[in-house]
Structure 1
Amino acid sequence: MEKIHKVGIFFGVLFTALGVVLLARIDVNYFWITLLLLFGFLFEFGVLGKGAGRFIPAGIFIVIGVVLLLCSVFGYDKMSYLWPMFVFAPGFGLFQAYLASKKRNLLRAASILLIISAVFFVGIFFKIGWARVLFGFILVGLGISILVKSFGRKSE
C-alpha cells in the first residue's frame, strides 16, 4: 500500500508541474529543469529510493537542475564559469549520503570530488594560470602518499 501511495504522489506532482508549465506558458527549457529538480527533491525526501543511497542521485539532480536554471535565466554563456558544478554534483550527493550513513569511504570519495571542483573554481574565477600547477602538485602528493602507504603495508 505504501508503494502505491508514493507512486501516486510522484505522478500527482509530475502532472501538476506539467499543467502549471502549460498554463503559464513557461518555456520548455524551464520544464525540463523543473523535472530535474522535481526528481532531485523526490529522491531527497524519500519518495523515490530508500536508505542513504538515495541522496546521491538527489544531490546530482538538484545541483545540475540549479546550474541549468541559472543558465536559463542568465544565459548559457555562464556555463564557462559553472562547469565545475558537474564535478561538484556527485560530490555533493556523496557527502549527503555520508551524513546519512557515516560511512568513511563515502566521505573520502565526496572529499576528492569537492576538492577537485574547488580547484577548478579557483582556476576559473580568479583566472589563475598556476591552478594547473597547483592541481598537479596536489595529484603528485596524493599519488606519493598512496604509494608510501602501499609499500608500508605488510602483505598477509
Structure 2
Amino acid sequence: MSRNQYTVGLLFLIAGAVILLGKIGFFSFIGTNFWPLFLLIPGILLHVLFFGRLLPPFVLIPGAILTINAFLFFFCIAFGWSNMQYLWPIFIVSAAVGLYEYHLFDTYHPKLPRTLAIIMLLAAASFFVIMLVWGWGMYLIAALFLAVGAWLVVGRKARW
C-alpha cells in the first residue's frame, strides 16, 4: 500500500466520523452549549498577552468585557436565559471592571477610567437595587420594616 492510499484512507475515515457525529447532533450540542468559549478564549488571551508585556494596557478593557460576559453567558446556558432579566447590569459591570483594570495596570494610572468605572459600578448597583425593590424585594423590605418596628415597640426597655 502506498503512502498516498494511506493518507486518502485516513481522510475518508475522518470525514466519515465528522459526518456521523454531525448526524447524531454532536456539533449542535457543542455549538449550543459552548459558544461562549468564542468570547472567553480571546478575553483570556488579551489578558495573557498584556501580562506577557506584548500588548498595551488598554487591551484589558475588551479583555475584561469578553471574559465576564462569557461567564455570564455560561451561567445563563446552565440555569436558563430567564435569569438575564435580573443579570443584565453585569454587562455594565464588565465594562467597569475593564476600565478599572486599565487604571490599575497602566503605568500612569489615569484617573478618568477609574472615575468612569466607579460611576458605572454605582449605576449597575442602582439598577440591581431597583430590580430588587420592583419585584419580590418589596416583600423583603416590608418584612424588614415589620421586624424593626416590632423591635422598637417590644424589644426596648421603657426609659420613663
Q: TM-score, normalised on structure 1?
A: 0.61
Q: Tell me, yes or no, if structure 1 residue 121 matches structure 2 residue 128.
A: yes
Matches within 5 A, 1:1-156: 26-46=29-49, 50-101=55-106, 102-127=109-134
CA distance in 2, matches of 1:27, 1:125: 35
2:49 aligned counterpart, secondary structure: coil
Aligned residue identity for 1:29: T
Q: Which runs of 5+ in 1 are unaligned?
A: 1-21, 129-156
Paired residue type of 1:78: N
Deviation, structure 1 residue 29: 2.8
How many residues are aligned here?
107
Shift of 1:23: 7.5
Give percent identity, aligned residues only.
Answer: 26
Q: CA deviation at 1:30?
A: 2.8
Residue 63 of structure 1, CA deviation: 1.2
Q: Runs of 4 or more off by more than 2 Å in structure 1?
A: 22-27, 125-128
- Structure 2, unaligned stretches of length 5 or more? 1-24, 136-160
SS in 2 for 1:60: helix
Please give the secondary structure, in 2, of the residue aligned with 1:44.
Answer: helix
Question: What secondary structure, in the 3-state scheme, does the structure 2 residue paired with 1:50 have?
Answer: coil
Secondary structure at the counterpart of residue 64 of structure 1: helix
State the TM-score, normalized to the length of structure 2: 0.60
Alpha-carbon offset, residue 52 of structure 1: 1.1
Farther-moved stretch of structure 1 (26-35 vs 97-106)? 26-35
